Amino acid sequence: MKYRFFVTALILSRLFSQAVLEGIVKESGSGKPVQYASVAVLDADADTVCTGGITTENGKFHISNVFPGKYFLEIDFIGYRHIRGKTFTVDKGERTEKDMGEFMLEPVVLELDAIDISAAAPAVMSNVSKTVYNADQIYSATGGTCCDIMKSIPSVDVAANGLVSLRGSPEVAILLNGKRAGILGGERRTNIMSVPVPASMVDKVEVITSPSAKQDADGMVGVINIILKENQESGFNGHVNVNLGNTEKSNAGVYFNFRKGRINHFWNISTEDLHQSGTGYRQSDLVSIDGKISNKTLRTVNTATRNKTTFLSGGSRYSLSEQTILNAEVKLVPFQRTKDESIDLGNQNFDINKQENGQLRLLDLGFLSESAKKYRLSGEMTLESQNKDVSQSGKESGAALGLSMEGKTDLERRILNLDYEYFITPSFKVETGVKNRVLVQEQPRSVLIQNGNGDAGHTTDFTYYEQIRAAYLNMEYTTFMEDMSFTGGIRMEDTETESDANLDSVLYHLSGFHAALIPDRTNH
């Protein structure tokens, strides 16, 4: 019983004689606390670690369960010089906190051997919602524009007039850095020749073949987003690209960027002069009711075109915080187009000349606030105007018949969009938004017909107004491995249109209203 009582008393005596070590670790010079530094308690006789801990966010440490004995502290943290404290003693019966004072860590410069790391981004990256093409990998020729890059992308077709189709459909929207690139072709489709950005300035091209209900009707088949390279370095920097040769195509581009603190200014100037010529043949057969061919006509068409386009853009981005960015950008696109056609029907010959001169102006204002895998709120206002003068003349060789047309097109477009994404979980997000688009267009024309018996003139004046209001809701679930996603959405929109056509002082008026509910469901 005496031995058992002695062992129990020894254990209790050792438990009640434990001390607590407290102190603080700071950076020499600045006096700032050093977080998460390693503090080790070593036996002074055996030079072995007995216990230890790490500093808190305030640089303090609190180490308990220190038994009587002689010790010293070692404090270490990456980027600082290792320090060893003085030897101290914890006496028997010392049960209170022991103040170890302040420890000052001196920062050191870590020198590592040079390591060369080189890697090339893959030419194509695909995920559940889009395919991304690296511009430098899919197009390696010197010179060229983003139009040449587009021709290198599978499933994308670029016609000779610059109109783009995706998987055989022209219902595709072309974006430049997520914004509409401007429309110089038809009134609803982007002509890629109107974006003569040098290929060297293009970083990547995103092809979205299953767009959500967020996209407008002209992008329901697909969306192509051209992303330009952005210099992340501070200060003033940029690059210049010039391409000249005997390929009947020349282009040049200049990009400047100035970044300081929270603000970034950027300017882009590019131009292209493209000549195209060709010969086409078409044979027409006139078939009677009984199936007999009564006449054959071989048509030969010689075409020569020239497109001169200049793309000027400049803007600023200001970071209110790490999550919120304000941006403003202005685009100016002057363009000139000429087309000469000679049509030979064997016994008849027609010469036709077409000319277009115009200018597009576009202002983009927007904001973005986002937190990764939490939320994304964005707003955008776009003001676009286009003025274009057109003329066309045609005449039959050796005959008095002639036709000439002159006119102009004034177009204004206003877009207001608000979009919000919220991640309910990291794998499931909901997106909702509203959008309002207004289009106003005026097209006065005058036509002069020469037939040898006198000239006949006609005038037309066409005006068109359109307003589309839309609201949409999308839901997307992505599996844990991110190899499959399920999306569903719904889009509600109503359209109001009104048009007036004045032909030789006779007015024709047409107006209408259309509402639609468009469901969307996609599995990848």
Domain ranges, ordered by start, for the chain: 2-105, 124-226, 227-523
Q: Provide, for the chain, the percentages of residues in helix, strand and coil under a 3-state DSSP scheme, each rounded to the nearest 5.
A: 5, 65, 30
Name residues whose C-beta falls within 8 Å of residue 309's C-beta, 6 or more positions apart in sequence. 184, 193, 194, 196, 271, 272, 333, 334, 335, 336
Q: What is the pLDDT of residue 113?
A: 60
Q: What is the pLDDT of residue 193?
A: 59
Closest CA to 264 of 200, 314, 189: 314
**The pTM is what?**
0.65
Q: How far apart are CA 519 and CA 517, in angstroms?
A: 7
CATH fold group of domain 2-105: Immunoglobulin-like (2.60.40)
Helix (H) / strand (E) containing 12: helix 2-15
pLDDT digits (tens, 9 = 90+) for 390-421: 998 887 776 667 778 889 989 898 999 999 99
8 A C-beta contact, residue 80 and residue 35: no
CATH 2.40.170.20 fits 124-226, yes or no: no
| Percentage of residues of the chain with pLDDT beyond 70 | 76
**pLDDT of 443 above 80:** yes
Closest CA to 174 of 152, 147, 201, 143: 147
| Winning range, highest mean pLDDT, from 112-126, 317-331, 508-522 | 317-331
Helix (H) / strand (E) containing 26: strand 19-27
User: What's the whole-number mean pLDDT along residues 193-217?
Assistant: 75
Name residues whose C-beta falls within 8 Å of residue 88's C-beta, 6 or more positions apart in sequence. 70, 71, 72, 98, 100
Q: What is the pLDDT of residue 216?
A: 72
Residue that wins the pLDDT comparison between 504 and 130: 130
**pLDDT of 15 above 80:** no
8 A C-beta contact, residue 343 and residue 365: no
Q: Would strands 172-176 and 222-228 be described as parallel, antiparallel, or unpaired?
A: parallel
**pLDDT of 14 above 60:** no
Q: Which residues of 323-346 are buried (b: 16+ CB within 10 A; e: fewer)?
A: eebbbebebebebebebebebbee
**pLDDT of 181 above 90:** no
User: What's the whole-number mean pLDDT along residues 309-315?
Assistant: 86
**pLDDT of 37 above 60:** yes
Closest CA to 71 of 46, 38, 96: 46
Phi, psi of 217 (to 5 degrees): -60, -35
Give the type of residue at 136.
D
Helix (H) / strand (E) containing 101: strand 97-105
Phi, psi of 183 (to 5 degrees): -120, 115
pLDDT band at residue 196 using 50, 70 and 90 as cut-offs: low
pLDDT band at residue 184 using 50, 70 and 90 as cut-offs: very low
Per the rule left: phi > 0, alpha: psi between -120 and 50, beta: everything else, 361 is beta
Helix (H) / strand (E) containing 102: strand 97-105
8 A C-beta contact, residue 360 and residue 331: yes
User: What's the whole-number mean pLDDT along residues 97-101?
Assistant: 86
Q: Which residues of 201-211 are buried (b: 16+ CB within 10 A; e: fewer)?
A: bbebbbbbbbb
Q: What is the pLDDT of residue 471?
A: 92
8 A C-beta contact, residue 192 and residue 171: no
Q: Please determine whether the domains at 2-105 and 124-226 fall in the same fold group of CATH.
A: no
Give the type of residue at 234.
S
**pLDDT of 363 above 80:** yes
8 A C-beta contact, residue 381 and residue 413: no
| Winning range, highest mean pLDDT, from 390-404, 446-460, 491-505 | 491-505
Give the type of residue at 151.
K
Phi, psi of 221 (to 5 degrees): -80, -35
Q: What is the pLDDT of residue 6?
A: 38
- What residue ranges in 244-374 does DSSP mark as E strands? 249-260, 263-287, 293-319, 324-344, 349-371
CA atoms within 13 A on the CB side of 186: 9
8 A C-beta contact, residue 75 and residue 37: yes
Q: What is the pLDDT of residue 12?
A: 41
**pLDDT of 68 above 80:** yes
Residue that wins the pLDDT comparison between 166 and 109: 166
Name residues whose C-beta falls within 8 Å of residue 486's C-beta, 6 or more positions apart in sequence. 476, 477, 522, 523, 524
pLDDT digits (tens, 9 = 90+) for 245-298: 666 777 788 888 898 888 999 888 888 888 888 787 777 666 666 666 556 666
Q: What is the pLDDT of residue 420?
A: 96
Q: What DSSP line would sit under 277-308, residue for residue?
A: EEEEEEEEEEE-TTS-EEEEEEEEEEEEEEEE
Helix (H) / strand (E) containing 146: helix 146-151
